[in-house]
Amino acid sequence: MTTWRALYGFLFVSLALTAYVAGVALGPLRWLFWDPPLFRRFNEALVWYSGIPLVIGAVLIGWDLFRNVVRLRHAKSIRNDPPANRFFTVALTAYNDERSIGPAVQDFRAHPLVRRVIVISNNSTDRTMAVAEEAGALVFNEPRQGYGACVHRALQQALRFEDTELTVLCEGDLTFRANDLDKFLAYIPHADVVNGSRIVEQLQDRRTQLSLFMHYGNLFAGKVLELKHLGMVSLTDVGTTYKVCRNESLRRLLQNLDPRINLEFNAYFLDTALKLGLRILECPITFHPRVGTSKGGNLNNRVATRLGLRMLLGIFVDWKGFARD
């Protein structure tokens, strides 16, 4: 069930608070410099009428909380279904990542529960494919350019192996490490997809891509997505690639995912899975400095802001608008 009322209620509350704070901030300016009567009336109206969206928002949030979420919480249960087969197929995305892909493949291959590592290169023009192969990975090229196309192909390719039930999706840029697979394994009995969260202070290296802005931006977007699926999930991050999926659930999910959605793909993946009623559970993971240059949303705060706004648009409205051929 999608809790649209709570989501839009939050939008109304945000609008109200913005108007209220702007109104209060204008007060001293008026007092100090300039106070024509019309401007004064506008300023007072801004503060006074900000109460309207505030009430509308509170009613909408309350409606979902007390009518729908209460019902969901009553029907709640803990799933405890350990997979019969605990081995992983690991799929790593790579785009001109020749500096990191070798050690990334070796790191995952060294984990005792990893059956194989596959690398999906996305038209890399450097030695990514050769290095991955030398490190012992099965290597594929995805010709459709873009992070979404690369991730979609990685999941599709991993599902072809029938000797594993668990698919790991990760990036080959050394920001994520194989060590965390043990944490994922502890969580998987309770979920269809265990999604890594990088937004855990104690598990971030000092020099990661996550600036203060990106840290709180991801947390904010995670909470907004949670508002859309109240009572079903707890989220603190929308941008991690690193996740473990049960193959039976992933098969169903993948049919509903459009590979043309690009850098917004992770938030889109979570939103779509939740709409299908899949159980998503977050697991704290360690996050390390990137080796090689970022080509994604973590390049700088400006790029991250644009990506964040697009993710919010996808959550509030729809993802279809972001599909690019």
Ligand X SMILES: Nc1nc2c(ncn2[C@@H]2O[C@H](COP(=O)(O)OP(=O)(O)O)[C@@H](O)[C@H]2O)c(=O)[nH]1
Residues lying near ligand X in the complex (CB under 6 A) are found at 93-95, 97, 122, 145-147, 150, 171-173, 209, 290, 294-298
Q: Which is nearer to Mg ion, 23 or 222 (CB)?
A: 222
The residue range among 21-29, 38-46, 114-122, 164-172 that interacts with Mg ion, by the rule CB under 5 A, is 164-172
93 binds, among ligand X, Mg ion, none (CB under 5 to 8 A by kind): ligand X
195 binds, among ligand X, Mg ion, none (CB under 5 to 8 A by kind): none
* Tokens (6 digits) for 224: 């907004």
Question: Can residue 165 be called a binding residue for Mg ion (CB under 5 A)?
Answer: no
* Tokens (6 digits) for 320: 């279809």
State how far the Cα of 287 lies from the Cα of 293, in Å rounded to an integer. 16
Q: Could you give phi then psi for residue 270, rounded to 5 degrees?
A: -65, -45
State how far the Cα of 274 lies from the Cα of 252, in Å rounded to an integer. 12
Q: Which is nearer to Mg ion, 64 or 97 (CB)?
A: 97
State how far the Cα of 234 lies from the Cα of 112, in Å rounded to an integer. 30
CA-CA-CA-CA torsion sign (205, 209, 214, 219): negative
Nearest approach, Cβ of residue 237 and ligand X (Å): 12
- HSE-CB at 53 with a 13 A cutoff on CA atoms is 17
222 binds, among Mg ion, ligand X, none (CB under 5 to 8 A by kind): none
Instruction: Pick one of 142, 171, 226, 282: the residue that binds Mg ion (CB under 5 A).
Output: 171
Q: Which is nearer to ligand X, 12 or 176 (CB)?
A: 176
Q: Which is nearer to ligand X, 185 or 304 (CB)?
A: 304
State how far the Cα of 290 lies from the Cα of 150, in Å rounded to an integer. 19
State how far the Cα of 21 lies from the Cα of 39, in Å rounded to an integer. 16
Question: Can residue 107 be called a binding residue for Mg ion (CB under 5 A)?
Answer: no
Instruction: Pick one of 165, 173, 180, 237: the residue that binds Mg ion (CB under 5 A).
Output: 173
